[in-house]
A and B are shown apart, each in its own frame.
Chain A
Amino acid sequence: MARFLDAYAAPKKDIPRRAYLTVSTLVGVALLAVWCALSYGELVRSDFLPTPGAVVGAAADGLGDGSLLVNTWVSVSEILSGFIIASILAVPLGILMGSFKIVEAAIEPVTNFVRYLPVSALIPLLILWVGIDIEEKITVIFIGTFFQQLILIADVSRSVPKDLLDVSYTLGATRRTVVGRVLIPATMPGVMDTLRITLGWAWTYLVVAELVAANKGLGYFILNSMRGLYTERIFLGIMVIGLLGLLTDQAFKFLRNRLLPWAVAT
């Protein structure tokens, strides 16, 4: 027992990969087992907790009539539009904000105010200003990610060591060269990490974005299923969002290792 504790219960100690995978699988299986027991055992009402079989059935139906793919596609395009527009603006602005005091003075106070506003509280204004079409959804995602990205990327830029810039000057670099060839490349790993994290957050705004006047999308699908108490479809919607989030996260991880092989892994 003591040997077991030494091997597996010491803080920060590595355990064999095999043991790691075994534990992960066991927990996954256990959760599934609890779900099966509760639903198939009829311990919980089926409109509270659908059976796994019912969720698979809902997925099959959705795939069969194409509605699942359409809803997914609508949501993905909303998320990507909002996220890409936010990133294109936040990356350069954040880098400048973290390294140029004058830019920081101009935008940091405003950003710090806006980023604590709950996006859902802004929805009435957004309807008034941008309407209820896809622009409203994209704007919600944009607001949800842009200000967070700005603050995080400014921090990345701020933490680029000053010595790295100074050594460039002593090597003969001009200010323009230092910004273009030193400051910007130095922020890239941090920028990639920020994009990865905030894309995850963008997914969490999806349902908020589709609260209003949506007739397609995964958020709409979930909300609409609630009205008819189609719990298995609610489960399906949530799971698809979770899977897509996981997928985009892994894609970013892969891209980071591919594009920035020189960076220390996270």
Chain B
Amino acid sequence: MDEPIWLKFIVAFVIMNVLLVGMAYMTYFERKVLAAFQDRMGPTRTGPKGLLQPLADGAKLLGKEDLIPGSADKWVFFFAPLVVFVTAITSVAVIPFGTSFDVAGQTINMTIADLNIGALFVLAISSVGVYGIILGAWASSNRYSLLGGLRAAAQVVSYEIILGLSLVGIFILTGSLNLGDIVAEQSRTLSIGPFEISNWFILSQPLAFVLFLIAAVAETNRAPFDLPEAETELVSGFHTEYSAFRFSFYFLGEYIAMIVMSLFASTLFLGGTDGPGSDSHVLLGILWLLLKTILFLFFYVWLRATLPRFRYDQLMGIAWKVLLPLVLLNIVVTAAVRLAVNS
């Protein structure tokens, strides 16, 4: 934590830009994977294998007319997409992309902000994000938007509880909320009989992993929990009235939130940067983290390609009647096991 502030800025700048490019290519990835699921080609025309498609999309959105409904609350309408975008991109600050390494006499910490409550920070920031959706929905003065906003509020509040509580087991096992500590804990190798396995939390907390995965999909408003923007019911949900680059801020926010959630899940359950060779090579660790993240992103697209959408009441019912008891059970069992092992 003793590196100069300018170095922090450089690291943050690099990571943010990588994330934005990653987001752009996430859309390409999604379109290609979805196309493969659906027996289609996906983008092929822009550049080799359609690789320039994200750039073309961005340029197109920049060139579109920026419409604000006459009856909209202009300041809130202007402000809301930024909330979604900024909160989504902020939470990446606490994700550890590896431990520190030395370059030209400077120690570079691969976590932008090594907070001792990193996990809590991600949860807190992602819950601020929903304000952007609610405010934007309300400011649009459109009934589809309003319904989308109402759905988002109820959905995100419910699933945040699941999301937070599913991590309590990990906190009990690690004894820390620092994401770096959580990764370090998972890097330990356990020997069970003749086998040597990593102490990844997906192995010791499988139920929490599944619950976290479900809640993360709901938290990012993705299929089959994409009710706030259910296009077959609410036209486009909360961003019906948004166009041009205002719309793309929502879009960016949603995709970055997906990437952050995937990074977060890889860090918490799949050992983060942990993998063969990651102890000696920082870059190899980053590669492992990326691979795990892509696995989660693939899972997101897979869900979208396969599952129908839940109905609002069913969504709520699942959160409160099924997931919440399960997540509480997980906490109790984890705590009991921990106590038994300690004593």
A, B co-complexed: no
- Which of B's residues lie within 8 Å of A, judged by CB? none
Binding site for B on A (CB under 8 A): none
